[in-house]
Amino acid sequence: MQILFLMADGFEETEFVTPFDYLQRAGFEVALASVSGKAEVIGLRGLKIQTDFALSGADTAKFGAVLLPGGGIGVKNLKASADVEKVICDFNDQNKWIFAICAAPLVLSKAGILVDRKATCFPGCEAELVCNEFSEDRVVVDGNIVTSRGAGTAEEFAFECIAQLGGRELSEKIRKQVVAR
């Protein structure tokens, strides 16, 4: 399965790097789409990432999952993109996997896909989160959507994404491989 990461300037580095690394270790193909159209995206703390293509005009049909890293500035940039909202709505309509961490569930909320779902987000963002049930759990799965709370939950989030895509056995294999708790 191919997984599409939606990358915007101001992304939270840990929330990108950990899922990116672990999903690749699990054998999934990961592609990075630039929301701004620039080939290089810069994280909240200056990490520069070379993306694979611009999201605008890209064919996203081949992807089975989409992942949105958090980070306040990054999420603001994701929320401002009509292309991002279209991808999120298309994936949800097709019951494809949607993964969002930290403040990124606010992008899903803005797209209107959490109104009948349980979800979580970064502490303090829940006032903006329009969902059926807010949870303080570190990782929440509801149907085809996985949400998580922040950088400190990035590893658990990545393992849950792997479990949903490839099963618990694969997730545990990667957990042991990286000597996670």
pLDDT tens by residue, 94-105: 999 999 999 999
The one catalytic residue among 102, 121, 131, 161: 102
pLDDT at 147: 99
**What's the mean per-residue pLDDT of the chain?**
98
Q: What is the mean pLDDT of each run of 10 residues along the chain (181 residues)?
A: 98 98 98 98 98 97 98 97 98 98 98 98 97 98 98 98 98 98 89
pLDDT digits (tens, 9 = 90+) for 3-30: 999 999 999 999 999 999 999 999 999 9
102 labelled catalytic? yes
Q: Report, in this order, helix, strand and coil percent for the chain, each rounded to 5.
A: 35, 25, 40
Spatial distance between the Cα atoms of 44 and 10, rounded to a whole number of angstroms? 4
DSSP string, 41-107: EE-TTS-EEE-SEESTT---TT-SEEEE---HHHHHHHHT-HHHHHHHHHHHHTT-EEEEETTTHHH
